[in-house]
Amino acid sequence: MIRLGSRRSPLALVQARTVAAALAAAGHQVEIVEVVTTGDRDRAAPDKSKWVSELERGLLAGEIDLAVHSAKDVPGALPDGLALIAASAREDPRDVLIGAPSLDALPEAATVGTASLRRAAQLRAARGDLRIVEVRGNVDTRLARVHGAADATAGDPDREPVDAIVLAAAGLQRLGRTPA
Looking at residue 146, what DSSP letter applies? B
Distance CA 45, CA 94 (A): 27
Query: Could you give the dihedral angle defined by the CA atoms of residues 145, 151, 152 and 156, in that order, rounded to the nearest 10 degrees?
Result: -100
Stated as kind and residue range, the H or E segment containing 33 is strand 30-35
Name the 3-class secondary structure at 156.
coil
Q: Which of 131, 159, 166, 130 is nearest to 145 (CA)?
A: 159
- For this structure, is 129 an active site residue? no
Q: Are 177 and 101 in contact (CB under 8 A)?
A: no
Residue-by-residue DSSP string for 2-32? EEEEEESSHHHHHHHHHHHHHHHHTT--EEE
Q: Which of 42, 47, 65, 73 is catalytic?
A: 73
Q: What residues are annotated to the active site?
A: 73
